[in-house]
Every structure is written in C-alpha cells, then in structure tokens.
Homo-oligomer: A and B are copies of this chain.
Amino acid sequence: MKTNLLTKALAPLALASNLVLAEDKPIIHDGEYNFLAAQHGEKWAAQDKEIDAKLAEIKKKNGDKRPNILYILIDDVSFGQMGDPKMNYVMGIKTPNLNKLSSESLNFMRMYTEPSCTPTRAAFLTGRLPVRSGIKEVKVALVGEGLPANEVTIAEVLKQAGYNTAHIGKWHQGDIEQAYPHNQGFDFAAFPLHQQVQLTVMTPESGKANNQFGYNASLRNDTFELDKKFRPFGLVTGVEATAGGKAKEVDLKPGEEWTHAHYVKMNERYQKQILEQVESLAKKDEPFFLQYWPLYPLNFVVPENPKTLNGGFMAEKLELLDTWVGELLAKLEETGEADNTIVCFMADNGLMYHYEGTSGLNQLIYRGGKTDFTEGGIRVDAFMRWPAAIKPNSYAGDIVHVSDLFTTFARLGEAKQFIPRDRIIDGIDQTSLILEGELNGRRDYVYVYQNDILRGIVKQEYKMHMPAPGMPGAAAPVFNVFRDPREEHPQIGTALWSGASFQDMAYRHMMMIKKYPHNKLGKGIPYEGIENLRPESVETVKTFMSWQPQK
C-alpha cells in the first residue's frame, strides 16, 4: 500500500521528466534545472509551442529574416552604475544614451555573471560554467593556455546556422592559436591578445598617475635587480584576423614602448571598427552576430579635461563609452537594422573596487566587485532591446545567468540544433522571459564559482556562502539578498531550514559533474598563429618556454 501510494505520487514527476526527455536529443542541463523541469516541464513545453509560433510571426514580419544580434559587453562596472538617472546623480556622472537604451529595453534586474573577465566571457561563449572548460582568469603574462578548440562557442553555433559573425574588442580567452576568436567561430576579429593590465596599467602614464609602481624602466631604479625577466615584456598588443587565417599585430612597431596614447588609439580603433562592421554586415542577406567588447571604462590615467562632475579616471571613460554606445545605436538606425536587431548590453562583472574612490566608480549598492563572489562581483546592469519583439521599459526580476544568453541566442537564431549534446550546457533557454516578460524565466538559481572553487549558491532570494573547508554545513552563512543586499547580516540560525536544501543543490550539481567530467583547458605555444611577431615578442616566448617542463 505504501509503495503504491509512493508510485502514484511520483507519477507526475516521471511524466514531466519524460516530456523534457522526449525531445530529440535534448540539451543536457545541470541537475538543478532538471529538478525545476520536473516541476514545470509540462507548462514549459506548452509555452514553447506558443513561443515558436510567435517567433515565426516576428520573422515573417521581418521579410523572413532572423534577427541580428549585437552583444555589447563592457568591462568592470557594477550594478546601478549605468542606465538609471537617479544613480547617475548619486555618482555625479551622466549616461544618457545608456539610460535611453535601458528605457527601450527589457531590464534584467538579476543578471548574474562570473566574478571576473575571462570566466564571464567564457560562460557566454560556451553556455557553460567556465570551470567545465577548464577556464580560469587568464593572467597578463604568457600562459600557453586558453579556450579549448573542442568547446563550441555561440559564434560557431550561429555560424553553422548561417549567421555572419564578427568580434571587436577585448577577448581575454588565452594566448594560444586555438583560443583566438577567428578560430572560435568569428569571420573577423580585432582584439588585443591580453588584457588591460598590459594595456592601461603597464604604461608610463599610469605610473605617473600613481596607479602603478615599478614597471616602466624610465620610472624605477634597478640597482638590486638580478632577474631581468620578472616584469612581463614583449607582449603582443592588438591583432586582427579573419576566420581560418593568421593573426596580424597592428599599430606597435618593433622596439616601441606601449603608452597610454596607444591605448587610447586602440579604443578609438575598435569603436571605428564596430561602426564599420555594422555598416558592412547590414548590407548582407544573412543576419549578423556581432560582439563589441570595449576595453573602457578601464583606464588608469587622470583625464586631461575631465568634464564629469565625478572627475574620476574611470568615471570619465564610462561617460565616453556612453557616447560611443549612442553612436553605435545611431548607426543601427541609419542602416535600417535597429528594429530587427537584438541589442544586449551589459557589464562582465562588478567594478575594480581596488581603485574605488580615486577611479570615480564605487560599489554603490552591492558589496564587493571584480574577483568577489558577493553580489557586488556578479550582479550587473543588463538591458536587452529588440523593438520587433521586446516590450520597452520593462523589467524582469527573474534570475538570469550570462550563460543563458548562449542558449537563448541559439534559439532566437534558429540554431539550437547546433548546441552540442555531449556535455552539460548550463545556459537555460530564456526566450520565454524575453518574449513573454517577467515571471516567465526558467531559472531561480546560480552556482557561483571563483575560478574552480564553488563559493556560493544563489537560490531565489537566498544565497549561501559555502562553509570554509572543514566547517560543518550548518555553519554556512545564508543571506537574504533583498533584505541585505550587501551580505552583511548572515543568517546562520534563522535560515537553518535552508541548509538541507542548499546541500541537496550542491549534491545535484556534483552528481552531474561526476557524470560529465570537466573538459581540459586548451594548451599550446603562446603566440602561434601570429604572422608578424616583433623580435621582443619572439624573445618573451623563448623566455616562457625556457622554464616549461619537458613533455
């Protein structure tokens, strides 16, 4: 009798599971999503049919053309720092173009990223938690590592479905050939090999602005210096390439020192190039997938003529970026593509708060920033505009993770069949949220990693910080992010009820890792595939290889 009752009780669960699994080769999601699908699968399947009809209608209205996708990802800006007139006043800055974009968009009020540049970008590109592809934050010196060739990026997915693709700006996925964007699905790419520690911190001007010590030869004393290779040197700067071809470094001459002027020029070049891309891709028959990942507002030089009330050296570049986004959106209008282009704008993680105060950017609402697993590190402003389908000036309190964009863009581009079925895809298809609005999201959780360590779990309004190694789970602090956005009042006693559920969540996650083990980070010789290496770059590769273990 008891068994019969249980079997009966479990029947709907089995049904729901079957529905999810009934798709031809379903996408493999994490345990937590499956747990939700078991609760909502029937409803979601029915809704998906309506959504397919809606998408077909939108496409028909647009002359049978699928939407373009423009994904703008900026660097190190915290939630609230853009798109809200009142918060503009708090900070003494003006972002009128972003405020306008926000008012024309669906605003994701709980967009979670990873806590740092490389991981967030990898999560978007692969639709997977970066830990699954072996990805950690890529440091500025040579690493001989990067995004593995066998990861399938959103560019590859959309490319296979017939999209034209291009990447302009920051990349930060490693210094090996297989990791370069033109080898990861982009028809064209213009990008710096490394990141802003090289490009804006390691400049003599940043030294003179007191934001960096001891790098530039002209600003230090080397009396006791035995090791002449301690400071990174000879790094490749900006390169350009087309799919399948070799990369070519632009701008810097052999022997020339990288300066702030070069950084400014690089930023201006990318802005020019993104406008050119829109112009040329708009003329083609196929839709486009375009990534613009600016390097600003990261900047470590005091502005010459600060015009912001704030005056800080990053705040000023945030205002400049606002102007540039305005230009880009105007270019979309001008080419007639605005109505059928999905513009998704967001930051990759919280501010670089190590320069809080002087940079002009501050934590504002959530505690922490880049590198932290507190909300300040992983909550960002995110707007999605698509005049043909998205309700302007709308908000969604549903949880979204940056990896969801992978799966969602794939569906919107009719490319879902190219998402690999042999690995876990963390990205949830959130098309329902985008088309049907708030309360139609399909995620209420996030696993928060710092590199390869699980540091927190977000579920609904609760967030558990994982207990320190050796500590019993009951000692793990749980926070209510609505009541306590800065995660300063841990509920250890009062949220004990949640401990078991959080532990189940961790278990569901770990079980799936056991079943689908992590991929290995790509490895190789740095700078392969660059055809015009400067002598100093050849030298730095030689230095790097000199201390690698023999194979």
- Number of this chain's copies in the complex: 2
Q: Which residues of B contact A534 (CB under 8 A)?
A: none
A209 at the B interface (CB under 8 A): no
Out of B91, B92, B309, B484, which one reaches A357, CB within 8 Å?
B484
Q: Which residues of B contact A79 (CB under 8 A)?
A: 90
| Residues B86 and A312 in contact, CB atoms below 8 Å apart | no
Known contacts A90-B485, A356-B483, then 9 further A-B pairs from the complex at CB < 8 Å, ordered by chain A residue: A80-B90, A91-B485, A312-B483, A315-B483, A356-B489, A357-B480, A357-B488, A358-B489, A364-B485
A57 at the B interface (CB under 8 A): no
A517 at the B interface (CB under 8 A): no
Bits for A460-486, please: 1 = Cβ < 8 Å to B, else 0. Answer: 010000000000000000001011111
| Residues A311 and B362 in contact, CB atoms below 8 Å apart | no
Out of B83, B109, B310, B483, which one reaches A482, CB within 8 Å?
B310
Q: 9 A-B pairs, CB-CB below 8 angstroms?
A: A84-B86, A86-B107, A91-B483, A310-B461, A312-B483, A357-B483, A357-B489, A362-B483, A362-B484
| Residues A395 and B86 in contact, CB atoms below 8 Å apart | yes
Bits for A380-399, please: 1 = Cβ < 8 Å to B, else 0. Answer: 00000000000000010100
Q: Which residues of B contact A420 (CB under 8 A)?
A: none
Q: Which residues of B contact A134 (CB under 8 A)?
A: none
Q: Which residue of B lies closest to A83 (CB)?
A: B86
| Residues A90 and B365 in contact, CB atoms below 8 Å apart | yes
| Residues A485 and B109 in contact, CB atoms below 8 Å apart | no
| Residues B395 and A482 in contact, CB atoms below 8 Å apart | no
Q: How far is the CB of A461 from chain B (nearest CB, A)?
A: 6
| Residues A92 and B362 in contact, CB atoms below 8 Å apart | no
Q: Which residue of B lies closest to A93 (CB)?
A: B482
Bits for A346-369, please: 1 = Cβ < 8 Å to B, else 0. Answer: 000000000011111111110000
- The complex places the Cα of A485 from the Cα of B486 at a distance, in Å, of 15
| A window 171-216: CB within 8 A of B | none
- The complex places the Cα of A365 from the Cα of B367 at a distance, in Å, of 10
Q: How far is the CB of A490 from chain B (nearest CB, A)?
A: 9
A85 at the B interface (CB under 8 A): yes
Out of B89, B361, B362, B489, which one reaches A109, CB within 8 Å?
B89
| Residues A92 and B461 in contact, CB atoms below 8 Å apart | yes
- The complex places the Cα of A461 from the Cα of B309 at a distance, in Å, of 8
Q: Which residues of B contact A461 (CB under 8 A)?
A: 92, 309-310
| Residues A356 and B310 in contact, CB atoms below 8 Å apart | no
- The complex places the Cα of A491 from the Cα of B358 at a distance, in Å, of 10
| Residues B363 and A92 in contact, CB atoms below 8 Å apart | no
- The complex places the Cα of A489 from the Cα of B355 at a distance, in Å, of 10
| A window 64-122: CB within 8 A of B | 79-80, 83-87, 89-93, 107, 109-110
Which of A92, A310, A482 has the largest number of chain B CB atoms within 10 A?
A: A482
Q: Which residues of B contact A483 (CB under 8 A)?
A: 91-92, 310-312, 315, 356-362
Out of B365, B395, B480, which one reaches A364, CB within 8 Å?
B365
Q: Which residue of B lies closest to A494 (CB)?
A: B358
- The complex places the Cα of A488 from the Cα of B364 at a distance, in Å, of 12
Bits for A313-348, please: 1 = Cβ < 8 Å to B, else 0. Answer: 001000000000000000000000000000000000
Q: Which residues of B contact A485 (CB under 8 A)?
A: 90-91, 362, 364
Q: Which residues of B contact A109 (CB under 8 A)?
A: 86, 89-90
